[in-house]
C-alpha cells in the first residue's frame, strides 16, 4: 500500500507486520496512518520539551518512553496491547508535565501529544477505553502540572488542552468505525472469492466426471459384456452337457473379471477424487493412495498374474502424503508397463524411504518388446518426480547377460 507523502517508509516486512497484526484485530488500515500518529505524538512531545528548555536534559528520555511501544510493535510478531501504549504515553507526559513551561509564546504542546495518543488508543480498542484514556490524559496535561509545580492553572490553556484531547478521542473513534467497516468489506470479498473458487472447482469436477468417468464406465461395461458373451458361448457349445471350460478360456474369463474389477475400482477412485475436488473442504483426503498402499498395489498386480517381488526399507507410514502419492503412481505406471510389454517376466521392486525416497523397478526385456515407448508414460513419471524435487531415470541395462528395463526414481527429503 502506498505511503503518505513525507512519512518515512519502513522496510516492507515491517509494513506488512504492522498491517497484518492490525487486521487480525479487525482493523484494516494502511501502515502509514498509525506511523504518522506516533510520529506526530513524538514530535509534539519534543516541542513540549523545547517549550520547557529541556531538550538537552535527562527529560529527553520521556520521549523515548513514549516511542518505545511503537518500536516494539514494529519489530515483534506479537500484538502490543493498547494499555501499554497508554501507560508509556502517560508516564512520558507526566515526566514532561513536571517541568515548568519557559516559552509562553505558544500554547503548550503537551496536550497535543496526548491527543494523538488518545486517538491511537481509541482507534485500537473501543469508545469506552478511549474515554478512560481521554480522562487520564486530561488529568496529566491539565490537572497534574499545578500541584507538581505549585502554580495555578491557566483557565484558557486548560480549556484548549481539554478540547484537544477530546478531539483526539472523537477522531480515534471515527477512524475505528471506518477501519472496522473496511475490514468487514474485505472479509466479505474474501468469502465471495472462496465461493467463486469453490464454484470453479465444482465445474472442473463435473467436467472430469463427464469426460473420464463416463468413458471408463462404458469400457467396464464392454469388458463385462465380453466376459458374459464368452461364458454364454461356451455354455451354448456344450449343448446341455456339463460346461467344462478349457484352461485358456478360463484364464481369459479370469482376466476379463480382473479387468472389470480394476475398472470399477478406478471409477470409485475417480468419484472420490471428484467429490473431494468439488467440496474443497479437505474432507476425505484419505481416498488418495500414499506410500502405505505400495504393498497392496504389488499384491494386486501379483494376483493378476505378474510375478512381482518387492523389498521395502524404512517406515512407509512416515512418508509425506504428496511424496507417497508420487511413489504410488510411478510404481503403478511401471508395473503396468511391465505387464504390457513383458507379460510373465519377473519384476523386482525395491523401495527405500529411510533417507529421502528411492524406488527401483526392474523387469526383463522380452524379445521384440519395446518398453518405454508408445504411451508407456515415462515422460509423465519423470514430470511427476521432478515436481517432487527428484529425478527419474528409465532405460535398458545389461545385467548378468540379461537385458533388463530399469526405472529408478529418487527424491531427497
The DSSP annotation for 16-75 comes to HHHHHHHHHTT----HHHHHHHHHHHHHHHHHHHHHTT-TTSGGGHHHHHHHHHHHHHHH
Contacts of 153 (CB under 8 A, 6+ apart): 142, 143, 145, 146
Mean pLDDT score across all residues of the chain:
77
Q: What percent of the chain has pLDDT over 90?
A: 15
Inter-residue contact 260 to 251 (CB < 8 Å): no
3-state secondary structure 169-214: HHHHHHHHHHHHHHHHHHHHHHHHHHHHHHHHHHHHHHHHHHHHHH
> SS3 for 315?
coil
Q: H helices within 304-389, ranges in order?
A: 321-341, 378-387
Alpha-carbon span 157 to 151, nearest angstrom: 13
Alpha-carbon span 349 to 117, nearest angstrom: 70
Inter-residue contact 205 to 274 (CB < 8 Å): yes
Alpha-carbon span 41 to 222, nearest angstrom: 81
pLDDT at 278: 61
Across the beta sheet with 308-313, what order do the strands follow?
308-313, 347-352, 357-364, 402-411, 391-399
Q: What is the pLDDT of residues 280-322, one digit of tens each?
A: 554 444 457 888 999 988 888 888 778 899 999 999 988 888 8
pLDDT at 375: 43
Question: 358 φ, ψ to 5°?
Answer: -135, 125
Q: What is the pLDDT of residues 132-165, one digit of tens each?
A: 999 999 988 888 877 766 666 677 778 888 999 9
Domains and CATH numbers, the chain: 12-195 (no CATH), 289-413 (3.30.565.10)
Please identify every stretch of the chain with a pLDDT value under 70, giving residue numbers as ranges.
1-29, 76-79, 148-153, 206-222, 227, 229, 232-248, 260, 263-269, 271-287, 366-376, 399-401, 413
Q: Go through the chain and tell me how many residues it has.
A: 413
pLDDT at 352: 93
Alpha-carbon span 92 to 69, nearest angstrom: 12
347-352/308-313 β-pairing:
parallel
Quick one: how far is CA 26 from the chain centroid?
A: 21
Amino acid at each position: 500500500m502506498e505511503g503518505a507523502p513525507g512519512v518515512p517508509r519502513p522496510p516492507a516486512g515491517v509494513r506488512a507486520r504492522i498491517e497484518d497484526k492490525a487486521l487480525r484485530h479487525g482493523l484494516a488500515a494502511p501502515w502509514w496512518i498509525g506511523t504518522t500518529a506516533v510520529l506526530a505524538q513524538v514530535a509534539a512531545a519534543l516541542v513540549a520539551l523545547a517549550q520547557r528548555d529541556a531538550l538537552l536534559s535527562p527529560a529527553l528520555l520521556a520521549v523515548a518512553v513514549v516511542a518505545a511501544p511503537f518500536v516494539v510493535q514494529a519489530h515483534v510478531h506479537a500484538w502490543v496491547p493498547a494499555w501499554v501504549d497508554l501507560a508509556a504515553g502517560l508516564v512520558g507526559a507526566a515526566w514532561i508535565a513536571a517541568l515548568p513551561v519557559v516559552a509562553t509564546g505558544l500554547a503548550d504542546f503537551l496536550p497535543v501529544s496526548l491527543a494523538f495518543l488518545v486517538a491511537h488508543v481509541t482507534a485500537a480498542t473501543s469508545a469506552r477505553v478511549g474515554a478512560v484514556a481521554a480522562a487520564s490524559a486530561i488529568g496529566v496535561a491539565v490537572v497534574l502540572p499545578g500541584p507538581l509545580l505549585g502554580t495555578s492553572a491557566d483557565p484558557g490553556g486548560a480549556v484548549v488542552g481539554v478540547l484537544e484531547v477530546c478531539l483526539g478521542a472523537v477522531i480515534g473513534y471515527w477512524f475505528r468505525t471506518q477501519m472496522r467497516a473496511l475490514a468487514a468489506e474485505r472479509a466479505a470479498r474474501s468469502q465471495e472469492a472462496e465461493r467463486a473458487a469453490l464454484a470453479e472447482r465444482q465445474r472442473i469436477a463435473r467436467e472430469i466426471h463427464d469426460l473420464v468417468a463416463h468413458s471408463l464406465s462404458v469400457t467396464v461395461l464392454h469388458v463385462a459384456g465380453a466376459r458374459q458373451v464368452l461364458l454364454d458361448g461356451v455354455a451354448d457349445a456344450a449343448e446341455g452337457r456339463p460346461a467344462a471350460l478349457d484352461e485358456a478360456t478360463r484364464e481369459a474369463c479370469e482376466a476379463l473379471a480382473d479387468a472389470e474389477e480394476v475398472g470399477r475400482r478406478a471409477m470409485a477412485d475417480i468419484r472420490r477424487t471428484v467429490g473431494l475436488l468439488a467440496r474443497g473442504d479437505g474432507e476425505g483426503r484419505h481416498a488418495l493412495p500414499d506410500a502405505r498402499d505400495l504393498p497392496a498395489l504389488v499384491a494386486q498386480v501379483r494376483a493378476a498374474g505378474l510375478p512381482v517381488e518387492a523389498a521395502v526399507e524404512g517406515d512407509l507410514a512416515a512418508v509425506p502424503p504428496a511424496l507417497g502419492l508420487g511413489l504410488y503412481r510411478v510404481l503403478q505406471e511401471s508395473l503396468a508397463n511391465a505387464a504390457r510389454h513383458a507379460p510373465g517376466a519377473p519384476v523386482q521392486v525395491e523401495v527405500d524411504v529411510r533417507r529421502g525416497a528411492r524406488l527401483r523397478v526392474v523387469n526383463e526385456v522380452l524379445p521384440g518388446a519395446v518398453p518405454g515407448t508408445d504411451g508407456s508414460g515415462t515422460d509423465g513419471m519423470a514430470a511427476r518426480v521432478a515436481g517432487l524435487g527428484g529425478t527419474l531415470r528409465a532405460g535398458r541395462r545389461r545385467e548378468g547377460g540379461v537385458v533388463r528395463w530399469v526405472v529408478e526414481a529418487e527424491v531427497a527429503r
